[in-house]
Each structure stands twice: as structure tokens, then as C-alpha cells.
Amino acid sequence: MERTLSIIKPDGVRKNIIGDVVKRFEKNGLKVAAMKMVSLSKSEAECFYAVHRERPFFGSLTEFMSSGPVVLMVLAGENAIQKNRDLMGATDPKKAATGTIRKDFADSIESNIVHGSDGAETASFEIGYFFSGLEVLA
């Protein structure tokens, strides 16, 4: 059993595909262990993506992430971190494999519908950033 953080980014919420995204997780053996919808401030988005602060796209990425509501989820299951990454597909939807969330729904390398933790340490930081222990139910 492993936990990972998933975010349906503002473009996913705007496109009205929250249900489609959650369905992919549930159909593939991931359980929603926590879920809430919030609007991130620019500084909350900056802190969340702090590892990217030197990248040229940091300003644009954090503008985008704070441009509307997002859905925050903890997903739980066997090999949840890698399974979620596999279901998401490559960062750039043009390079994402057929049948992945980003291939099917994303418009660009920035507006790419979902976020997923990229390792065990990141997952632990990211889950703790948004959820208290009491809010995670699997």
C-alpha cells in the first residue's frame, strides 16, 4: 500500500472532466483516500512547485496553477506513485502514450490536466502540504 498526491489542475476543472479523471484512477485500482477542491493563491502554488523555481516556466506555471479551482486528492493503492504517473502520461501531451489522461485531455506541456507526485519523498511532502493526517482515510 502506497499513497500519492494527485491534483486535477485548473484546466481539468474548467473542462468539466473531474469525473473522467477520477474514473481512470478508480478503474485502475487506485482508491481516493482524501479529496478537496480549493483555489490556490499564487504564493501557495509557488511553495508547492518550489523545486522548479529556477526554471523559465516557473512564473507562468504558478500563474496557471492559481488561475482557478483545483481538485486535490490522495490516492492509495499498490504501487500508487508509479501507477498514477503511468495513467497521467508524459508531461508533454504530444509525447504522452495513447490512453493516458494527458494524451486524451491535455492541450499543452503547461496545461496538462493533472499533477502526480514523482517519488516517495515528494509524495510525503505533497500530501502533508495539503492534508492533515485526520483527513486521509485509506
Site for ligand ATP contains 24 (CB under 6 A):
no
Instruction: Find the shortest distance in angstroms from Cβ 72 to Mg ion.
Output: 15
Site for ligand ATP contains 112 (CB under 6 A):
yes
Site for ligand ATP contains 109 (CB under 6 A):
yes
CA distance 134 to 137: 7
What is each CA distance from 113 to 11, 135, 136, in whole angstroms?
6, 24, 23
| Among 28, 41, 43, 91, contact with ligand ATP (rule: CB under 6 A) | 91
From the CA atom positions of the chain, what is the Rg in Å?
14
Please confirm, yes or no, whether 115 is among the known catalytic residues: yes
**One-letter amino acid identity for 99?**
G
Find all residues with CB under 8 Å of 51, minimum gap 6, and list them.
Answer: none
Applying CB under 6 A, which part among 14-22, 75-83, 110-118, 128-136 lies near ligand ATP? Answer: 110-118
Binding-site size, Mg ion (CB under 5 A): 1
Applying CB under 5 A, which part among 5-13, 57-65, 112-120, 124-132 lies near Mg ion? Answer: 112-120
Catalytic residue, chosen from 74, 96, 115, 126, is 115
Find all residues with CB under 8 Å of 103, minimum gap 6, and list them.
Answer: 89, 93, 96, 97
**DSSP symbol at 97:** P
**Which residues would be at the binding site for ligand ATP (CB under 6 A)?**
52, 57, 61, 91, 109-110, 112, 115-116, 118
Q: Which residues are catalytic?
A: 115
